[in-house]
A and B are shown apart, each in its own frame.
Chain A
Amino acid sequence: MSDQNIGKPVPRKEGRAKVTGAARYVDDLAVPGMLYGVTVRSHVARGRISEIIFGDRIPWDEFTVVTARDIPGANAVALILNDQPYLADRIVNHAEEPILLLAHEDKYLLEEARRAVRVEIEPLPAVFSIEDSLAKKEIVWGEDNVFKSFLVEKGNVDEVWDSPGLVVVEGVYATGAQEQLYIETNGVIATASREEGVVVQGSMQCPYYVHKALVKLFDLPEDKVRVIQTETGGGFGGKEEYPSMIAGHAALLAWKSGRPVKMIYDRAEDMTATTKRHPSRTRHRTAVTRAGQLLGMEIDFVIDGGAYATLSAVVLSRGTIHAAGPYNCPNVRIRSRAVATNAPPHGAFRGFGAPQSIFALERHLDKVAAAVGLAPEELRRRNFISRGETTATGQVIREEVDMGALLDRAFELSDYHAKRERFSRENVGNKIKRGIGFASFMHGAGFTGSGEKYLQSVVGCEATAEGRVRVLAASTEIGQGTNTIFAQIAADALGLDYERVEVVRPDTASVPNSGPTVASRTCMIVGKLVESAALQLKQTLAGAGLLQEPYTAEEFERACREYIEKNGALKSFSQYRQPEGVEWDDEHYRGDAYGAYAWAVYVAEVSVDTLTYEARVEDFVAVQEVGRVIHPVLAAGQIEGGVAQGVGWTLYESVVWAGGRMANGQMTNYIIPTSADIPPIRVHFFENPYAGGPAGAKGIGELPMDGPAPAILNAVEHATGVRFDSVPLTPEAIMEALEGEAVKA
């Protein structure tokens, strides 16, 4: 293995195509004879469909119309519980639920037709909040509105509360929904027929999820379904499970019409109808000694899953496991539930439940610190987890972890202590209040528990007679740099130039299933498989007596040519095998939850204008340990992008709900940060190579979403002296709180 590419800022593989406009996204493609497809959706949150009326003045005989009755296989999106229909038949369970599909070659006439369909729905009582769902105000799913619950027990927290000399601190924390807002909306093009099968190309993170869903929807053999990822304009989790829905819809229209069908959502439809980050509510009760040692943590974590189960159980799992953070506490109980409401299903979004539970914990620990008269950092220092200690699930940390060093570095880069002191002094009598705060946290990489074992991901490597190497994986490039890092890893494993390696476009007809592009697993888990598949390629050549180390590129090329002339092809495949000693008990939720964690301390500096009630982030420092950094520019880009999304979630992005519908499904009034809103983000990596990752790398993608919200709200508390315990923190919320304070004063 060489070290020619890893750690170097090689140019992004698709960089040139992206800066010249040559990169082709799904809406840039056209297929001869193509129709356009649209979806008729419910305007009611819950109800019984009584009639579908096709309005006048539309030439309906020209249209392809698909209802639930036209579905050849199962009317359910295959995922975990398969409870979500592709098309509602008699009952609708959320606003914007798909009921009917239309296709026509004229997209303007099609839009008129969509508006001309009237669906009569008799409303049924609906539930719109976690509280109402828990109170079973109405049972809207299963027997008790609960999709999934978990219980994590460490030690015995019940015995802690009565110990003498303890301080008990309680708090309730809440987070709102957040739209992924990838700039490219969901879209696909489908062709389908009984003879040829179903082919879908489109914007997505997980081609094999879509493949599995289409097999069930059409009741076809696996080889009659083909899914191809097109250049994808952002995902962030929003294109993890949802593409199975739109792909199915376009394919149903193609199946019935016998023509290719393109379906592209406009922004409003994408915002109102597709998934968002789960809203959450967390209760904390913490026992701490006067010296600041955490003795007991009781955590009740609840997320709003929306109307169908979709991925909520898995989101809940990650949120649950991260709820107690990177601290060594002997007694922990985490009880968690994902509950049903009549909102459109909430889904995957970067961080996947962890940002919600970490927000609660890191806000709460500032409160705990204040209760025992310690500085927030001092409380954390006294409880940081280190090697040999155990997490809430009883996972023994085997790697070297030095949270204190991350904290030191973050404080040094942000000038934390001096600013904390200076702001406190200068805020008196100032209209603009400044503050500085931080959060410390960890994020597990890869699927939770036994997830990776069940996935059994496979990656292939192929060499051509010209000595070029192709990586075969279903892991998608969605902007994060999959193509580039896979090429770096394979090139270094083979001692070749980066340019010699190409990562092929994910297409289920030609790449093995390397699993979904989610859970910060692409670099660490799949990258490791790329590395071993590449090494096997080399071993095959060596075993055939054609190659000996050290070798030149020309010698490699000659060896490939000779091997291929003799054997036809040169390919190798590598399959995931769980590392020795990793144990996970799914029933009791105990054991090694993740193969590795990334560790971090983020510092936010804010200003709060007490005239406009606007809070701004003025400076941001992100210090983390993510194992070996494969590509310094891409890695920093992941952190900066995640921090920006975190800033948005905290201060700007407010989903306004009205009767279970998103009322502000437009970029005009759902505000994401612009270049004028984002502070300088200073990123620093500690590198501590992890043996289970390629060249020592761990996961990175989700981590930066976890820290900003609590760090910013901790800073706002420092600035204003007011405790805010929910996000988004809008100017309205600040006004209400500060005016309230003024009244009290």
Chain B
Amino acid sequence: MKRGDVSETPGEANETRLDAGRARGSADEERPGADAARGKVSVRCIVNGEAVVLHAYPLARLLDVLREELRLTGTKEGCGEGECGACSVILDGELVNSCLVPVAQVLGAEIKTVEGVADGERLHAVQQAMIECGGAQCGICTPGMVLAALSLLERNPRPTEADIREGLAGNLCRCTGYMKIFDAVVKAVASSQ
């Protein structure tokens, strides 16, 4: 392997172009076919409601593409093996660990990351409740936890305590002991009714 085959350094040549007028200067644009020559593929999908074309190796982790290409750093890496849920995103309505998703799989998909949860300045009820109930301490699991709660409430708008425990069991938190996160989900349910 020689230097330059892969370069994931932010701000360098092969940064992903965002559609919708947010294209950044990219050496690849001046050299059509450069991606293909390097084995990269173009993956069209929707991220937080915005159509984007991702240029990445087909087996690149969605987690890295979101963080390094789109600079959506709210999605965190906790374990890299699908255990902790810090990298949770919602992919076509399903909560997934983005560290286990090869980017080739998201062709045509709709992805929601934590950056797409609030409505502008207005926080989602789950986010607001997480602040009020003390559901976020160090905050590193929080983006994944917010999406897990969102996904749970999407499927089950009136969850029982057992449903909440089950629904969040794929997202590890080492700070809170989970009580305040349960409180936050309960509060979010109450506030949206």
Contact = CB atoms under 8 A, between A and B. Distances in A.
Interface of A: 9, 11-12, 14-25, 27-28, 30, 32, 34, 59, 62, 104-109, 112, 180-184, 231-236, 266-267, 478-481, 633-634, 636-637, 640-645, 666-668, 672, 674-676, 678, 680-681
28 contacts: A9-B132, A12-B136, A15-B136, A18-B139, A19-B136, A19-B142, A19-B143, A20-B115, A20-B123, A21-B74, A21-B142, A30-B10, A30-B11, A59-B2, A106-B4, A106-B8, A108-B1, A182-B174, A637-B176, A637-B177, A637-B180, A640-B177, A641-B174, A644-B176, A644-B178, A667-B172, A674-B169, A675-B165
A184 B174 CA distance: 10
Interface in B137-193: 137-143, 146, 164-166, 168-182
Contacts of B77: 27
Contact of A183 (B4, B72, B76): B76
A16 B135 CA distance: 12
Contact of B84 (A14, A109, A637, A667): A667
Nearest to A29: B73
A135 B85 CA distance: 45
Nearest to B162: A676
B27 to A, nearest CB: 16
Interface centre among A105, A266, A641, A666 (most CB of B within 10 A): A641
Contact of B172 (A22, A25, A183): A183
A637 B9 contact: no
A710 B123 CA distance: 42
A182 B125 CA distance: 27
A374 B192 CA distance: 53
A19 B131 contact: yes
B117 interface: yes
Interface residues of B, number: 65
Contact of A674 (B146, B172, B176): B172
Contact of A233 (B4, B7, B10, B139): B139
B183 to A, nearest CB: 9
Nearest to B134: A633
Interface of B: 1-11, 67, 72-81, 83-84, 86, 113-115, 117-118, 123, 127-128, 130-134, 136-143, 146, 164-166, 168-182
Contacts of A62: 3
Contacts of B123: 16, 19-20
A30 B8 CA distance: 11
A13 to B, nearest CB: 10
B160 to A, nearest CB: 13
Tell me whether chain A's interface is mostly helix, strand or loop, or mixed. loop
B26 to A, nearest CB: 16
Contacts of B78: 183-184, 267, 667
Given A20-B115, A479-B139, 19 more contacts: A12-B134, A19-B130, A19-B136, A19-B146, A27-B73, A28-B73, A59-B3, A62-B3, A105-B7, A108-B1, A232-B138, A233-B76, A236-B174, A640-B177, A641-B175, A644-B177, A645-B174, A667-B172, A681-B177
A533 B42 CA distance: 58
A210 B187 CA distance: 41
Nearest to B4: A106
B113 A21 contact: yes
A236 B5 CA distance: 40
A636 B170 CA distance: 24
Given A20-B114, A675-B181, A676-B169, A266 B80 contact: yes
Contacts of B165: 675-676
B137 A24 contact: no
Contact of B134 (A23, A28, A636, A678): A636
B2 A184 contact: no
A109 B180 contact: no
Contact of B136 (A18, A27, A105, A182): A18
A106 B127 CA distance: 36
A675 to B, nearest CB: 4
B50 to A, nearest CB: 16
A675 B168 contact: yes
Contact of B9 (A34, A234, A668): A34
B185 to A, nearest CB: 10
A672 B172 contact: yes
A23 B73 CA distance: 9
Nearest to A231: B139
B138 to A, nearest CB: 3
B43 to A, nearest CB: 19
A22 B141 contact: no
A34 B78 CA distance: 22
A692 B82 CA distance: 47
A62 B2 CA distance: 10
Contact of B81 (A108, A234, A643, A667): A667
A678 B178 contact: yes
A680 B31 CA distance: 59
A27 B67 CA distance: 10
A395 B157 CA distance: 56
Given A12-B136, A20-B117, A637-B137, A234 B174 contact: yes
B177 A267 contact: no
A22 B74 contact: yes
Contact of A234 (B4, B83, B138, B178): B138
B117 A678 contact: no
Given A27-B77, A30-B9, A183 B176 contact: no
B135 to A, nearest CB: 8
A23 B174 CA distance: 18
A9 B184 CA distance: 14
Contacts of A181: 174
Contacts of A676: 165-166, 169
A27 to B, nearest CB: 7
Nearest to A180: B174
B73 A233 contact: no
A630 to B, nearest CB: 13
Nearest to B73: A28
B156 to A, nearest CB: 15
Contact of A640 (B113, B166, B180): B180
A19 B182 CA distance: 15
Contact of B138 (A105, A233, A644, A668): A233
Contacts of B84: 183, 667
A257 to B, nearest CB: 14
Contacts of A28: 67, 73
Contacts of B128: 19
A184 B138 contact: yes
A27 B130 CA distance: 23
A616 B41 CA distance: 48
B169 A21 contact: no
Contacts of B177: 637, 640-645, 678, 681
Nearest to A27: B77
A31 to B, nearest CB: 9
Given A234-B174, A644-B177, A267 B79 contact: yes
A123 to B, nearest CB: 31
Contacts of A236: 174
B121 to A, nearest CB: 10
Contacts of B117: 20
B9 A105 contact: yes
B4 to A, nearest CB: 8
A614 B123 CA distance: 41
B114 A184 contact: no
Given A22-B74, A675-B168, A667 B79 contact: yes
A666 B79 contact: yes
A675 B178 contact: yes
Contacts of B6: 106, 108-109
**8 tightest A-B CB contacts, nearest first:** A21-B74, A479-B138, A233-B140, A18-B139, A644-B177, A640-B177, A21-B114, A479-B137
B3 A183 contact: no
B131 A16 contact: yes
Contacts of A640: 176-180
Contacts of A644: 174, 176-178
Given A30-B10, A32-B11, A644-B178, A21 B136 contact: no
